[in-house]
Each structure stands twice: as C-alpha cells, then as structure tokens.
C-alpha cells in the first residue's frame, strides 16, 4: 500500500452509486487531523445518485460516467484519477464491477466496504440471504479489491448480532451504522496509524 510521507495527505477518490452515507462519513473523517487521506474526487455511475449532493455540500469535484461502454468509462476515469494525482480509491456502495485492467492499474490501492462478514455472502442481496440462513451474526468488511468479486484481502471486520425479528431493512440499517465507523478505522490500519 502507498506509504504516507511527510504531512501530505493521500489524495483519494470515492466511488459511489447511491445514497453515499459512507462517502459522507469518509469526508468527515478526512477532515480530522489524524486522517491520512483527503477526498479530492467523487466518481459515480448514476446521475440520480443522492450521494452526489455531498460533492456540493463539501465542495468536492464530482464526475458521473455512463458505464454502458465500460472500457470507455474506465479509461475516462483513469484519466481523471491521473490528472488529480489520486493515489487511493475507496469504493463505497459502487455498484459496477471494475475490470481486471482497471484494478491492475491501481493494484493494492483500491478498498471496498461490503455489508457482510466476508468471505460469507459475497455479492448482492446480502441481508436477505443472511436472514434466510438463520445466521446469528452478520456484519461488515473492509477489504482490498482484487480481480475476484468481494474476495480481496480483508482489512477489518465488525460483527453485529441479529435479533429475532430482524428484517433485511433493519439489518441493513444496523450494519450501515457500523460501516461508517469501520471504513475510517480500516484506512488508519492500512496506513499503520
């Protein structure tokens, strides 16, 4: 992973597709003195994503790309990242799967947050599958992004207990609260802080 040198913060891009509550928590974290990162760019694949509003609120440049042609979108994103000297990517509810070619260019510098205790429940509809299997616990995981979906090296996890009357919605809400704490902690760990 990139090493933190001097007092310069690592220029970071956050990729989102929806609400962006993790983006918000990362922006707040980035403004703290002990944060090794600054958020300099928001990348999104969805023009209607609510999370884009945080770009306005916090005056962070945001760019939306149409992934109909993925290769083209990724090339444009790579250009944007390079021109802003981005050295870390945080995926935060980004619903597109990045290509091997893209990941290779940022190898070891892309993090993701997933709402399950990986390696269990990779992919979509996590909470529903967890409840269908009568799990006692679920949680969230921050991990490095590798070529295989939700399979890169785990950085940190947080476990939550499942209540008897839990629904996918209530579980998602409970886990999201933990996600907002876990992502910053995982970033501190990555930079050995």
Residues 6+ apart with CB under 8 A from 172: 115, 127
State the Cα–Cα distance between residues 88 and 14, nearest whole angstrom.
9
* Residue 12 and residue 87 in contact, taking contact as beta carbons nearer than 8 Å: yes
Of the residues 9, 11, 19, 122, which one makes contact with ligand GRF according to CB under 6 A: 19
User: Which is closer to ligand GRF, CB of 36 or CB of 93?
Assistant: 93
Q: Binding to ligand GRF by residue 51, rule CB under 6 A? A: yes
User: Does residue 180 have an active-site annotation?
Assistant: no
Q: Binding to ligand GRF by residue 127, rule CB under 6 A? A: no
Q: Binding to ligand GRF by residue 152, rule CB under 6 A? A: no
Of the residues 18, 36, 55, 139, which one makes contact with ligand GRF according to CB under 6 A: 18
State the Cα–Cα distance between residues 166 and 173, nearest whole angstrom.
11
Tokens 């890169």 found at:
152
State the nearest-atom distance from the C-beta of 51 to ligand GRF, in Å: 6
Please state, in angstroms and as integers, the Cα–Cα distance from residue 43 to each residue in 81, 105, 128, 163, 172, following that order: 9, 17, 28, 36, 23
Q: Binding to ligand GRF by residue 20, rule CB under 6 A? A: yes
At residue 174, what are phi and psi to the nearest 5 degrees?
-65, -40
- Binding to ligand GRF (CB under 6 A): which residues in 21-50? 21-22
User: Which is closer to ligand GRF, CB of 42 or CB of 113?
Assistant: 113
Pick the catalytic residue from 114, 127, 143, 180: 114
User: Which is closer to ligand GRF, CB of 19 or CB of 120?
Assistant: 19
Of the residues 36, 93, 139, 152, which one makes contact with ligand GRF according to CB under 6 A: 93
- DSSP secondary-structure letter at 148? S
User: Which is closer to ligand GRF, CB of 77 or CB of 118?
Assistant: 118
Q: Binding to ligand GRF by residue 92, rule CB under 6 A? A: yes
State the Cα–Cα distance between residues 38 and 133, nearest whole angstrom.
40
* Residue 32 and residue 117 in contact, taking contact as beta carbons nearer than 8 Å: no
Helix extents (H) in the chain? 21-30, 53-57, 70-83, 100-105, 126-132, 168-190
Which positions lie near ligand GRF, rule CB under 6 A? Answer: 16, 18-22, 51, 92-93, 113-115, 176, 179
Q: Which residues are catalytic?
A: 114
């Amino acid at each position: 992973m990139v090493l933190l040198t001097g007092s310069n913060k690592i220029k970071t891009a956050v990729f989102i597709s929806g609400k962006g509550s993790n983006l918000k928590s990362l922006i707040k974290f980035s403004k703290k003195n002990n944060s090794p990162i600054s958020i300099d760019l928001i990348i999104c694949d969805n023009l209607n994503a609510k999370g884009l509003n945080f770009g306005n609120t916090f005056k962070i440049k945001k760019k939306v790309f149409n992934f109909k042609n993925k290769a083209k979108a990724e090339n444009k994103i790579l250009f944007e990242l390079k021109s802003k000297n981005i050295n870390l990517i945080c995926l935060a509810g980004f619903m597109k799967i990045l290509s091997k070619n893209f990941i290779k260019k940022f190898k070891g510098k892309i993090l993701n947050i997933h709402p399950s205790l990986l390696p269990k429940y990779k992919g979509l509809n996590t909470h529903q599958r967890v409840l269908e299997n009568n799990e006692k616990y679920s949680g969230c995981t921050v991990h490095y992004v590798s070529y295989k979906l939700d399979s890169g090296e785990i950085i940190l996890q947080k476990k939550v207990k499942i209540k008897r009357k839990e629904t996918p919605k209530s579980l998602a809400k409970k886990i999201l609260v933990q996600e907002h704490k876990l992502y910053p902690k995982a970033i501190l760990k990555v930079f050995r802080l």
